[in-house]
Amino acid sequence: MINNPSHPKKGNLKSKDCKFSKAGVEYIDYKQTDILERFVNDQGKILPRRVTGTSARHQRQLSTAVKRARFMAMIPYVIENLR
């Protein structure tokens, strides 16, 4: 996340294209935590569409996938901020 080179908030968003549509994804699996973590900020919040460029259909799928992964304790609900 914070050390993630492809994090969308780090100015790496080159295109406003939906990455899922481009790759032809039909179903976003909650078990692929490495993908989900890229669409989450360093507090663990789901990033908005305007930041990631995800299409509406895939954003809906993504949010259910993130919520399922959180329930199964694969990704955290909140990440405590270190001050």
Partner 1 sequence: MKKDFYEMTYILNPVLEEERFSELVSFVNKLIEDNGGEIVEVDEWGVKKLAYDIDKKSTGFYVNMYFNAPAPAIAVVERNMRINDDIMRYLTLKYDAKMQRYYELRKKGDLPVIFDDADAETENEDDN
Residues that bind partner 1 (CB under 8 A): 5-6, 12, 19-20, 23-27, 29, 31, 35, 38, 68, 70-77
Q: How near is the Cβ of 22 to partner 1 at its closest, in Å?
A: 8
- The CA-based diameter of the chain, rounded to the nearest angstrom, is 40
CB of 20 to partner 1, least distance (A): 7
Task: Provide the minimum distance between the beta carbon of 50 and partner 1 in the complex, in angstroms, as a whole number.
Answer: 19
Q: 83 exposed, middle or buried (CB, 10 Å; 0-12, 13-18, 19+)? A: exposed
Written as one letter, the residue type at 81 is N
